[in-house]
């Protein structure tokens, strides 16, 4: 019996979630399986990969063949590296402590890289949100300025219309200026007489 480590689809339409299962190669994709060892959700960014590392390593060492997609996921999680190191230990090329140290160093580097990617994605989202808010604020300010300019224009038109409709106010204004000039002239005449 040939054993495969592969994906089994579940979830709704266009929002698939996959189970990582160990199954007979002859079994249907979503059918009978031997053991479920994890899940894969491609809908998140970065994709969520949850695999039981010990069980996956046990099945790999027992000869289960991963599909291409699952092999990429196992490499991403470091299980293929751990298998490689474990084979080296079994052959006597390195000790178990050396293998564990190499794996821990790789795992720390990988976790830092994943955290950096997640932080970069979150920062990009925050920047895009702030940019959208700034654009909206600028658009609102432009709209308010246009409304204010329109109101000022209407006030100017109303003032011009009132001035045109009320010529008596214009005539009264020059008379008032002539009256205010007359006392000044008489005051100047009084000073000249003195």
Q: Which domains does the chain have, with CATH numbers?
A: 3-67 (3.30.1320.10)
What is residue 59's predicted lDDT score, i.e. its pLDDT?
93
Which residue numbers in the chain have pLDDT < 70? 1, 167-194
Alpha carbons 61 and 83: distance in angstroms, whole number: 7
φ, ψ (nearest 5 deg) of residue 42: -80, -5
- For 141, list phi and psi in degrees, rounded to 5: -65, -40
pLDDT of residue 46: 80
Under DSSP, the state recorded for 32 is -
pLDDT (tens digit, 9 = 90+) per residue, 65-93? 999 999 999 999 889 999 989 889 888 88
> Rg (Cα) of the chain, in Å, rounded?
42
């Amino acid at each position: 019996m040939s054993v495969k480590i592969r994906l089994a689809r579940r979830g709704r339409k266009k929002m698939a979630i996959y189970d990582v299962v160990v199954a007979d190669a002859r079994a249907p994709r979503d059918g009978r399986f031997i053991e479920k060892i994890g899940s894969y959700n491609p809908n998140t960014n970065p994709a969520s990969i949850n695999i039981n590392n010990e069980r996956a390593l046990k099945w790999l060492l027992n000869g289960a063949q991963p599909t291409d997609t699952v092999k990429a996921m196992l490499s991403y999680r470091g299980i293929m590296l751990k298998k490689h190191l474990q084979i080296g230990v079994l052959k006597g090329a390195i000790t178990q402590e050396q293998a564990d140290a190499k794996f821990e160093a790789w795992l720390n580097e990988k976790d830092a890289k994943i955290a950096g990617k997640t932080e970069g994605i979150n920062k990009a989202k925050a920047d895009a949100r702030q940019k959208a808010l700034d654009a909206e604020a600028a658009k609102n300010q432009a709209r308010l300025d246009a409304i204010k300019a329109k109101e000022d224009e209407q006030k100017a038109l109303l003032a011009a219309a009132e001035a045109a409709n009320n010529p008596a106010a214009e005539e009264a204004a020059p008379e008032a200026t002539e009256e205010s000039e007359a006392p000044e002239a008489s005051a100047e005449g009084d000073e000249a007489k003195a």
